[in-house]
């Protein structure tokens, strides 16, 4: 009965089948899974969360992991609040998600006087559990993605959609130690969390703000065997002397375009590791993994049969599988088309016998995993008194995948001397720094004499 297609009722029961010698480790705490299944990190409150729509909003990733294990199969809905989410979106998420309980490790009261019905304190300490036999129900897992306006969309999955790529990948390797540079409250990190816990593996978590060298040394101390992150995570890791301390046998990249340089560098750096890059998104689920070490993906991946069906329409990648999300919560927007395909909005181009990724259809810029809407940066630039017109676009970066660059037409037609141009640029960038997050401030700003406007009246962005 333990074939690869087995259905999983809940995470905790699966762990209980084989918890020996396995652990979850964070920057400051490590817990044995055996201890975890006999205890609780939620005080005596787990039974009161049964059947509720729960928002998990903790700062610490380790306590998030403990709560996620406990709440799966108990809460009716579990909404994962990523740690860096702007707090002003909280009321939207509470309302769209019909939240009636919040699990947190900090005080949310001042943020929402009009009410979170029930708050439970998450902790990193495990106490023996009195909740012997809670009825198991299928929990709806909800991830947040930033929509085009920056207001988060709630993407609903169930355990079957989240684990379809995992159960299809065959028997797990016993004794594996997974590590990830992602946060487990985002889709890419959640996949690794589930892969480790539903397989017979252990898991080493990242920690926000931890220097990369310290994280690598922790991964080395736990003899990490499988390690995943974005190309930007990996580039940063390879720039650390501590990258030599780990020896993974499986290296995986996803979440951004994997270029030739990072793929070749990883193969040279970890000669005993299989290096794969994967395509996945919160809505579309896991599309595919590319194991041949080359950029892009082979054209034969476009297929209308099999577990994952992939097609390209108007240059955009579309995916249909059991791994796609179920629906958006709290809005009428359809997540899939009439045939069940999710349009990923990721643009691809066939070159020879491989498809290559070109970036987002929306023009959204991905700076080391942080999303930037060019319009938002343009709005900030346009408020500066010297700026007549501007165009914000993406430039490829060997470090963060992309950076933001801006072309600016100044209001006055006067010719500026070189010194004056430098002065104006400096002033505009300082102005942006006061209004925008760091990753949104243009890395380079070019003063140009004109910008091309398309026939529809829009400024044409020519991404480099």
Partner 1 sequence: MSVRSTIISEMQRIAEAEEKNLPPLTDDLVLLQSGLDSLGIAILVARLEDALGLDPFTNSDDLFYPVTLGDFITSYERAESSN
Nearest to 372 by CA among 392, 398, 397, 344: 392
Helices (H) and strands (E) in the chain, counts: 11, 27
- Identify any residues that bridge with 313 across adjacent strands, giving them in sequence order: 316
Q: Which of 76, 119, 137, 264 binds partner 1 (CB under 8 A)?
A: 264
Q: Is residue 230 near partner 1 by the rule CB under 8 A? A: no
Q: Is residue 186 near partner 1 by the rule CB under 8 A? A: no
What are 53's two structure tokens? Answer: 């729509």
What gap in Å lies between CA 71 and CA 74, rounded to an integer? 5
Which range in 28-36, 315-323, 413-421, 436-444 contacts partner 1 by CB under 8 A? Answer: 436-444
Q: Which is nearer to partner 1, 45 or 265 (CB)?
A: 265
DSSP 289-346: EE-SS-SSEEGGG-BSSSSEEEEEETTEEEEEETTS--EEESS---SS-TTS-EEEEE
What gap in Å lies between CA 102 and CA 264, rounded to an integer? 45
Q: Which is nearer to partner 1, 30 or 265 (CB)?
A: 265
What are 419's two structure tokens? Answer: 């010194």
Q: Is residue 212 near partner 1 by the rule CB under 8 A? A: yes
What gap in Å lies between CA 86 and CA 111, rounded to an integer? 12
Q: Is residue 225 near partner 1 by the rule CB under 8 A? A: no
Least distance between partner 1 and beta carbon 226 (Å) = 22
Give residue for tokens 């010719």.
Answer: 415
Which range in 148-156, 180-188, 208-216, 371-379 contacts partner 1 by CB under 8 A? Answer: 208-216
Three-state SS annotation for 138-201: CCEEEEEEECCCCCEEEEEECHHHHHHHHHCCCCCCCCCEEEECCCCCCHHHHHHHHHHHHCCC
Q: Is residue 269 near partner 1 by the rule CB under 8 A? A: yes
Least distance between partner 1 and beta carbon 207 (Å) = 15
Cα torsion for 323, 325, 326, 331, to the nearest 10°? -170
- Identify any residues that bridge with 365 across adjacent strands, giving them in sequence order: 372
Least distance between partner 1 and beta carbon 81 (Å) = 23
Q: Which of 111, 207, 443, 447 binds partner 1 (CB under 8 A)?
A: 443
In the region spanning residues 122 to 151, those forming contacts with partner 1, defined by CB under 8 A, are none
What gap in Å lies between CA 34 and CA 15, rounded to an integer? 8
Least distance between partner 1 and beta carbon 395 (Å) = 6
Q: Which is nearer to partner 1, 32 or 443 (CB)?
A: 443
Q: Which is nearer to partner 1, 212 or 326 (CB)?
A: 212
Site residue total, partner 1 (CB under 8 A): 36
- Identify any residues that bridge with 278 across adjacent strands, giving them in sequence order: 289
Q: Is residue 241 near partner 1 by the rule CB under 8 A? A: yes
Cα torsion for 334, 336, 337, 338, to the nearest 10°? -90
Q: Is residue 207 near partner 1 by the rule CB under 8 A? A: no
* CA dihedral for 178, 182, 183, 188, sign (positive or negative): negative
Q: Which of 239, 247, 303, 453 binds partner 1 (CB under 8 A)?
A: 239
Nearest to 256 by CA among 277, 286, 282, 227: 277
From residue 205, alpha-carbon distances to 11, 183, 245, 369, 388 in Å are: 17, 8, 17, 18, 47
Q: Which of 399, 411, 423, 460 binds partner 1 (CB under 8 A)?
A: 399
59: number of CA atoms within 13 Å, CB side?
A: 7
Which range in 130-138, 175-183, 279-287, 428-436 contacts partner 1 by CB under 8 A? Answer: 428-436
What gap in Å lies between CA 282 and CA 285, rounded to an integer? 6
Least distance between partner 1 and beta carbon 212 (Å) = 6
Q: Which is nearer to partner 1, 195 or 236 (CB)?
A: 236
Q: Which of 153, 195, 236, 373 binds partner 1 (CB under 8 A)?
A: 236
Which range in 68-76, 236-244, 250-258, 452-460 contacts partner 1 by CB under 8 A? Answer: 236-244
Least distance between partner 1 and beta carbon 320 (Å) = 34
Q: Which of 34, 89, 395, 416 binds partner 1 (CB under 8 A)?
A: 395
Least distance between partner 1 and beta carbon 334 (Å) = 36
Nearest to 63 by CA among 123, 128, 139, 107: 123
Q: Which is nearer to partner 1, 9 or 264 (CB)?
A: 264
User: Are the C-beta atoms of residues 374 and 461 closer than 8 Å to each other?
Assistant: yes
Q: Which of 174, 268, 334, 453 binds partner 1 (CB under 8 A)?
A: 268
Q: Which is nearer to partner 1, 63 or 400 (CB)?
A: 400
Classified as helix, coil or strand, 61 is helix
Q: Which is nearer to partner 1, 106 or 433 (CB)?
A: 433
In the region spanning residues 333 to 372, those forming contacts with partner 1, defined by CB under 8 A, are 367-368
Instruction: Enumerate binding residues for partner 1 (CB under 8 A).
Output: 211-213, 232, 235-236, 238-241, 259-261, 264-265, 267-269, 367-368, 395-400, 403, 405, 429-430, 433, 438-439, 443-444, 446
């Amino acid at each position: 009965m333990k074939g690869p297609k087995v259905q999983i009722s809940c995470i905790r029961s699966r762990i209980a089948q084989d918890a020996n010698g396995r652990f979850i480790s964070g920057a400051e705490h490590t817990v044995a899974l055996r201890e975890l299944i006999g205890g609780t990190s939620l005080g005596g409150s787990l039974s009161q969360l049964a059947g509720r729509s729960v928002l998990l909003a903790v700062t610490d990733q380790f306590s998030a992991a403990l709560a996620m294990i406990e709440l799966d199969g108990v809460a009716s809905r579990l909404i994962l609040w990523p740690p860096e989410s702007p707090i002003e979106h909280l009321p939207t998420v509470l309302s769209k998600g019909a939240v009636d309980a919040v699990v947190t490790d900090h005080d949310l009261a001042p943020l929402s006087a009009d009410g979170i019905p029930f708050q439970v304190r998450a902790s990193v300490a495990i106490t023996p559990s009195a909740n012997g036999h809670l009825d198991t129900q299928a929990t709806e897992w909800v991830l947040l993605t930033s929509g085009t306006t920056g207001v988060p969309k709630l993407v609903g999955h169930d355990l079957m959609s989240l684990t379809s790529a995992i159960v299809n990948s065959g028997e797990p390797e016993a004794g594996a130690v997974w590590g990830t540079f992602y946060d487990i409250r985002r889709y890419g990190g959640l996949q690794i969390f589930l892969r480790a816990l539903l397989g017979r593996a252990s898991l080493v978590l990242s920690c926000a703000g931890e220097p990369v060298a310290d994280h690598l040394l922790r991964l080395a101390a736990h003899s990490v065997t499988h390690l995943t992150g974005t190309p930007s995570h990996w580039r940063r890791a390879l720039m650390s002397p501590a990258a030599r301390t780990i020896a993974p046998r499986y290296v995986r990249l996803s979440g951004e375009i994997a270029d030739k340089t990072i793929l070749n560098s990883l193969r040279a750096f970890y000669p005993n590791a299989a290096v794969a890059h994967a395509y996945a998104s919160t809505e579309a689920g896991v599309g595919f993994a590319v194991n041949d070490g080359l950029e892009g993906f082979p054209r034969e991946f476009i297929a209308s049969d099999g577990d994952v069906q992939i097609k390209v329409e108007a240059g955009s990648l579309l995916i249909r599988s059991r791994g796609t999300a179920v629906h958006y919560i709290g809005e009428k927007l359809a997540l899939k088309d009439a045939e069940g395909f999710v349009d990923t909005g990721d643009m691809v181009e066939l070159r020879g016998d491989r498809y290559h990724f070109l970036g987002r259809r929306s023009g959204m810029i991905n700076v080391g995993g942080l999303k930037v809407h060019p319009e938002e940066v343009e709005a900030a630039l346009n408020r500066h008194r010297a700026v007549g017109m501007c165009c914000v676009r993406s430039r490829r970066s060997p470090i963060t995948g992309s950076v933001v660059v801006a072309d600016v037409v100044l209001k006055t037609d006067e010719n500026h001397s070189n010194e004056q141009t430098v002065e104006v640029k400096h002033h505009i960038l300082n102005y942006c720094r006061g209004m925008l997050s760091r990753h949104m401030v243009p890395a380079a700003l070019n003063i140009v004499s004109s910008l091309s406007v398309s026939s529809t009246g829009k400024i044409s962005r020519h991404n480099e």
